[in-house]
A and B are shown apart, each in its own frame.
Chain A
């Protein structure tokens, strides 16, 4: 009898009535939240992009175009944007969406009490950083103002050539403030969440599924072809693959949910799609510790790394070996080539630094987190450095949160890391290593680097700006070398292109669901 009661409980609300959604995709982990100001991961970002829309939005190829704003003007000095919000823009409950919604939402994201981990992406707005840090309490002094219901004026701290990219990012999305006031932390739950994007939330079962339905109030609702979408929070690769291969899911978007042991086989199949993405795997050196305080040592290490071996034998998806930190693929930017693989030169540099043949070089730790491939790479690097430079590497494997904590406290000698672009501009990479940035995590500081980057963000002419950035990056990967880039990532997606359209592989790795459609009828 107990089992019977439980059966009713556990299976309630999901009888035979539930139809398969037009699209079911594997979305990695269970989302931490769907609040645009709170989220930081990719699985959350995907759903939030389906639910909400900023002033601008991305198309299938990841290119930014009009969103809630139908057009905009930029002042000649590049510091003032005037956005015109489209007439008839509405929330999913029918409320009109106004310029005021943007101002109040940006204020919410910047408010320290909201604890938005990404609020610094709004710092390009004049006064935003001071407001977020409590130095400015009057939000009306921040450079975003309502001109009228349909017009929003934004004043920037410096001309920010990628500002329209930022406007398509989650931190810049509007949220429905009156429902946040009404429901508190429950505002993002089904039945309560009011959104302005192509979809609205109809179901969210923890560790089970999230179901979206097309939002009839969306301004281009007529162009949204998938009427129902389900996201499955599956992070285990074999489970994800079982779901995909038995047709319970149509699409996987993360490399992490493709079983590594099947990759060699899958690569040959037409439903496996591999393309470069803007992300880099690299090693950090802790420049506050001896002997890594010596740039010659760091350069020697970077030149001893056989990156071709790592991408050819371990990662094996055609990842390009990385010389630069910024991956190729950002239009107009030509990243520096970085240091070559040259073990002889590396040995000479190490000898110059006082460690000929590695003698006298203290044993040091190589920090990495506990995933299978990181371990394989760490073991290969350990062996490479021992053979080429004669130095002894101790492997330090730590569980994810412990590893992050060690990075933050600079409690490491050399550590693996990954950086993924937030927007397609070199600044998203290079800004990490400005003195004192939270993501610097090397202890490195270089005044010339800082000033070059600062100058680049005040420069309007794209070519001149990228030139300054390139010079800064040369310091980062050829001169001072606080990091050694290893490879640039590729993305692996599984979907049958004969059945699902509207997916265009792009380096920013964003795939708006509203652009997707089915070919040849329902599943």
Chain B
């Protein structure tokens, strides 16, 4: 196992540099540049800007210098937010996204698991049908509809939570719930299906016939094995949800990293795009590794070689 893990850890930096390289080339190849402005910038100032942001010279040369800076942990200056480094932009916004994302992740995984188990236990009975209809609605409702809907009910009608902002605990719940709901619905379906499969197996029947209480059969014996698909889904989900969401963070005005994924591309803010892509990739690699390790722990038959 340790050899497999080691190989992946060693491979990660190479993978990340490849991501940086690809992002940079795509951004530079896209039409329009970071210094195209509404009021045209005079030629000599444009040259100065390109030099200052190290975007002068041939593209392969620009890229080489960029990769060298990235390798040393310098994600460079943002071309849009002129007095900020990409490191600073990420350092200030990523914790916010992670806070919101971790909450949403917990709600999605716990809520989805419990509901999935309940649905499986009530297989082909009204509870099951009702939960599956709800899950279908949850999966299909986009967050730009769900967000305002939650706001309408809980902020405008009931007045329980503010419509947005960040800094107090009561500002966390609406965006976290809006962010988690589609994932929770998906997890409910995922857990239900794999529970149904496991519940038909011999060892579950044995456990039941030995008189183990039903709750223990479901939540301990069956769920431990049924959780494998959920675990493998959690890796990419965590990377995705922790790096922020454009839609939810915009609707609730949460100062996270999510909007940078789209806005930095629209602004052709090449280094900010590079930075957020790298963070996302690094989290993805890390969580997938965690998933593999968790697999081994959950099912001793799996080996990581």
Contact = CB atoms under 8 A, between A and B. Distances in A.
A35 interface: yes
B44 A134 contact: yes
Interface in A382-423: 399-406, 408, 418
Contacts of A242: 151, 155, 163-164
Contact of A239 (B32, B38, B253): B253
Interface string A223-248: 00000000010101011001100101
A112 B45 contact: yes
Interface of A: 2-3, 6-7, 9-11, 14, 16, 18, 30, 32-35, 38, 40, 112-113, 115-120, 132-134, 185-189, 205-208, 232, 234, 236, 238-239, 242-243, 246, 248, 399-406, 408, 418, 438-439, 441
A405 B82 CA distance: 20
A186 B77 CA distance: 12
A33 B39 contact: no
B109 to A, nearest CB: 12
A441 B49 CA distance: 21
B39 A117 contact: yes
13 contacts: A3-B102, A10-B99, A11-B168, A30-B81, A112-B44, A185-B84, A206-B81, A206-B89, A238-B148, A242-B155, A242-B164, A405-B32, A438-B39
Contact of A33 (B37, B42, B83, B156): B83
B236 interface: no
Contact of A10 (B95, B151, B253): B95
Interface size classification for chain B: 35 or more
B88 to A, nearest CB: 8
Contacts of A234: 253
B187 to A, nearest CB: 18
Contacts of A30: 81
B41 A401 contact: no
A243 B163 CA distance: 7
Contacts of A236: 250-251
Nearest to A208: B255
Contact of B268 (A16, A120, A208, A401): A401
Given A14-B167, A133-B44, 17 more contacts: A10-B98, A11-B99, A30-B81, A33-B81, A35-B83, A119-B42, A132-B42, A132-B44, A134-B44, A185-B83, A206-B81, A207-B255, A243-B165, A399-B266, A402-B31, A438-B39, A438-B41
B252 interface: yes
Interface string B127-169: 0000000000000000000001001000110000011111111
Interface string B243-269: 000000011110110010000001110
Contact of A115 (B45, B93, B99, B250): B45
A167 B201 CA distance: 82
B45 A117 contact: yes
